Amino acid sequence: MLSVLVELDCLLDTRLGTILGLSKEAYDSLLGTNYFNRNTDDFEAATGGLITNEDFKKAYAARDVETLQISQTTNMPLHLAEIACNVKLDPDLMEFNRRTKLMVNTHPYEFSAEELGVLLEILQGLLPNWDEITIGSIPLMQLTPSYLLDNWSYIYVYNFSSWLEMYGKQLENKRIPQITFVTPKILQNGLPNEEELKQLKAFDVFESGEFLLQEYVGLRTISSSYFSRVSKVN
């Protein structure tokens, strides 16, 4: 069975939603940049200082349902729909292995029971081909290596570095190479310095990260366009 856990923040572009909440001018200016294929979240530079990175960091940490209401769908639902379709059409898989289940992790957002019902209906429309779609709220502190190994094949997160920072030491004794994280090709440990910028031009730092972690946990980095407002995916 294909089992996937995906953050709601991957299905909706809450980065742009957060910026829209801060400044409509900054939001409009971003749409004229390489936002959809960016490899950093340096929104201060991208908006010419209309917002600061500290402004964004604080607002994103405080994002809520109102942020979701002004955030648009990303390219991720189409990507996930295609994955489920490919699994079902794979002639080499046994019937059980063609089953698909997906849970959308809504943490840190808080919803009423009625809102969750509406959200589930929306998700079922956005994510066709999946046999089972559920909603859960799972904070980072509960996404332990053991929990992931027992429940999921793939985990889609926007910020893999946060998970690795919390559980990296545990991976030394609890390796989970069977599990694959899928995350954007975005440098998530702050802004690159001059040396890091040279490395970016010299070789693929994202592929290097995948290689270095492969014995401990699966990692696949994909274009940031999948995690961004609907646009052409490169």
- Residue 234 domain flag: no
Report whether pLDDT(45) > 70.
yes
- pLDDT at 29 exceeding the cut of 60: yes
Domain range for 91 is: 2-13+72-227
Across the chain, mean pLDDT equals 90
Residue 149 lies in a domain: yes
Q: Do 13 and 228 meet the contact criterion of CB atoms below 8 Å apart? A: yes
22 domain residue, yes or no: no
pLDDT at site 200: 59
pLDDT at 94: 62
Percentage with pLDDT > 70 across the chain: 89
Q: Domain for residue 63, yes or no?
A: no
Report pLDDT for 196. Answer: 62
Indicate whether 191 belongs to any domain: yes
- For 135-163, what is each residue's pLDDT tens digit? 999 999 999 999 999 999 999 999 999 99
Q: Sign (positive/negative) of CA torsion 218, 221, 227, 230?
A: negative
> Residue 218 pLDDT > 50, yes or no?
yes
Taking the mean position of all CA atoms in its chain, how far away is CA 168? 19
* 66: in domain: no
Question: What was the pLDDT predicted at 234?
Answer: 45
Tens of pLDDT, residues 92-129: 766 666 789 999 999 999 999 999 999 999 999 999 88
Answer whether residue 48 is part of any domain. no
184 φ, ψ (degrees, to nearest 5): -75, 155
| Closest to 153 in 3D by CA, of 179, 128, 127 | 179
Q: Convert the pLDDT of each residue in 56-87 to its tens digit.
A: 999 999 999 999 999 999 999 999 999 998 88
Q: Is residue 130 part of a domain?
A: yes
Question: Which residue did the predictor score with more confidence, 42 or 194?
Answer: 42
We report the CATH number of the domain holding residue 178 as 3.40.50
User: How many structural domains comprise the chain?
Assistant: 1
In a 13 Å sphere around the CA of 172, the CA atoms on its Cβ side amount to 4
Q: pTM above the 0.85 mark?
A: yes
- Token reading at 161: 């570095």
Is the pLDDT score of 174 beyond 80? yes
Tokens of 153: 């094949």
* Region 12-40 average pLDDT: 94
